[in-house]
């Protein structure tokens, strides 16, 4: 009995330590949200001449990581057409971005609705919702200023997201927070790469820098929530979660990094160019790189096993060379 009691006490102490560590991190994130935050209409001077969306600006062009940049069709277009394609592509990404953040905000608010008094997550979640609201306004303002008929997620996916994803925060919170990473990590990967390159018009660079700065906190909250919650799952639920996560990532990463059908149709991108783009070695590697952090987190949380590994590979998100290198 003494041995059993010691094991139970040890388990309780470990859980208490994990919870204390999590709450310390959440309080720090809340403090950082107060110390460094942005306003979509204060920190961006939309009406400055340098921030105008102008085809005469030589800075406009496809991002190097963009799959369509790896199609011969794109490089055969005139410089003016390439600029138009780039502006429409960035606007499409931003529209999808704010639609994802809308779902995220609704899920987080529903999650916060159930929290008891005194939980530090309540304050942080509302900081994050406020920041995501500014991101949404920032993205939509850019879309509006292009004057283009931009659409975001495919209608079926949007319909499913509202009816399937939002309930996850109640029935399967761990899967909901992997959904969060599925939307945020790919864009974070692309934007950080683009910022490092220093390429692109000033308005897009400014938007990305604001987004990346605040998303670092959002990603930290999601990852640390998963580190707290996943170990609490039983063996069967943990195994099933490991099978579902790569499928969810396959959907989310492609949504975030591939051009949409609406974009291709409205901008005259032929199917042959789309297929050439997404089947290029660069695009396939982009999928793996964009999913690398959620994949590594899955490994750290014990969600990678022989069966789930096969699913990651089938989904095109497994990287044999880089896998789990520090």
Instruction: Answer yes or no: is 323 within a domain.
Output: no
Distance between CA atoms of residues 52 and 64, nearest Å: 22
Domains of the chain: total: 1
What is the pLDDT, as a whole number, of residue 165?
Answer: 85
Contact 257, 186 (CB under 8 A): yes
Instruction: Answer yes or no: is 24 within a domain.
Output: yes
Cα 178 to the chain's mean position, in Å?
Answer: 10
What is the pLDDT, as a whole number, of residue 4?
Answer: 45
Q: What tokens were used for 200?
A: 């692109």
Q: Locate tokens 């499913």: which residue?
A: 160
Instruction: Answer yes or no: is 326 within a domain.
Output: no
Q: What is the pTM of this model?
A: 0.91
Distance between CA atoms of residues 207 and 43, nearest Å: 9
- Report the sign of the C-alpha dihedral through residues 324, 191, 177, 250, in that order: negative
Distance between CA atoms of residues 195 and 209, nearest Å: 7
- Report the sign of the C-alpha dihedral through residues 290, 293, 299, 302, in that order: negative
CATH, residue 67 = 1.10.620.20
Q: What tokens were used for 136?
A: 């949404």
Backbone angles phi, psi at 279, to 5 degrees: -95, 0
User: Would you write out the chain's pLDDT as a tens digit for each of its 326 residues?
Assistant: 554 444 454 455 566 788 999 999 999 999 999 999 999 999 999 999 889 988 778 888 888 899 999 999 999 999 999 999 999 999 999 999 999 999 999 999 999 999 999 999 999 999 999 999 999 999 999 999 999 999 999 999 899 888 988 899 999 999 999 999 999 999 999 999 999 988 889 999 999 999 999 999 999 999 999 999 999 999 999 999 999 999 999 999 999 999 999 999 999 999 999 999 999 999 999 999 999 999 999 999 999 999 999 999 999 999 975 665 54
Distance between CA atoms of residues 192 and 194, nearest Å: 5
3-state secondary structure of 109: helix
Number of residues written out for the chain = 326
Instruction: Answer yes or no: is 225 within a domain.
Output: yes
Within the chain, what is the greatest distance between any pair of CA atoms? 79
Instruction: Answer yes or no: is 324 within a domain.
Output: no
Contact 218, 287 (CB under 8 A): no
Q: What's the chain's Rg over C-alpha atoms? A: 21
Structural domain including 283 reads 2-314
Q: What tokens were used for 231?
A: 């170990």
Q: What tokens were used for 13?
A: 């102490």
């Amino acid at each position: 009995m003494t041995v059993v009691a010691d094991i139970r006490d040890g388990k309780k102490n470990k859980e208490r330590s994990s919870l204390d560590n999590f709450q310390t991190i959440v309080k720090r994130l809340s403090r950082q949200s107060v110390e460094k935050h942005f306003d979509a209409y204060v920190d961006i001077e939309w009406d400055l001449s340098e921030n105008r969306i102008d085809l005469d600006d030589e800075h406009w062009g496809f991002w190097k990581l963009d799959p369509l940049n790896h199609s011969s069709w794109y490089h055969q277009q005139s410089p003016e057409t390439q600029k138009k394609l780039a502006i429409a592509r960035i606007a499409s990404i931003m529209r999808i971005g704010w639609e994802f953040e809308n779902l995220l905000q609704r899920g987080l608010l529903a999650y916060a609705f159930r929290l008891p008094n005194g939980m530090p997550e309540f304050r942080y979640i509302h900081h994050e919702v406020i920041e995501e609201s500014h991101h949404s306004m920032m993205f939509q303002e850019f879309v509006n200023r292009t004057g283009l008929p931009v659409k975001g997620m495919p209608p079926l996916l949007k319909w499913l997201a509202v009816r399937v994803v939002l309930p996850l925060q109640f029935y399967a919170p761990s899967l909901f927070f992997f959904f969060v990473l599925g939307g945020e990590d790919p864009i974070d990967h692309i934007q950080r790469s683009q910022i490092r390159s220093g390429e692109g018009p000033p308005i897009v660079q400014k938007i990305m820098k604001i987004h990346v700065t605040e998303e670092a906190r959002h990603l930290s909250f999601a990852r640390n929530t998963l580190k707290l919650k996943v170990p609490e799952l039983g063996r069967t639920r943990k195994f099933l979660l490991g099978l579902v996560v790569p499928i969810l990532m396959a959907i989310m990463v492609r949504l975030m990094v591939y051009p949409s059908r609406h974009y291709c149709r409205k901008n005259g991108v032929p199917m042959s160019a789309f297929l050439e783009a997404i089947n290029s070695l660069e695009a396939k590697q982009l999928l793996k790189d964009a999913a690398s952090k959620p994949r590594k987190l899955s490994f750290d949380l014990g969600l990678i096993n022989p069966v789930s590994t096969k699913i990651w590979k089938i989904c095109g998100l497994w990287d044999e060379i880089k896998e789990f290198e520090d």
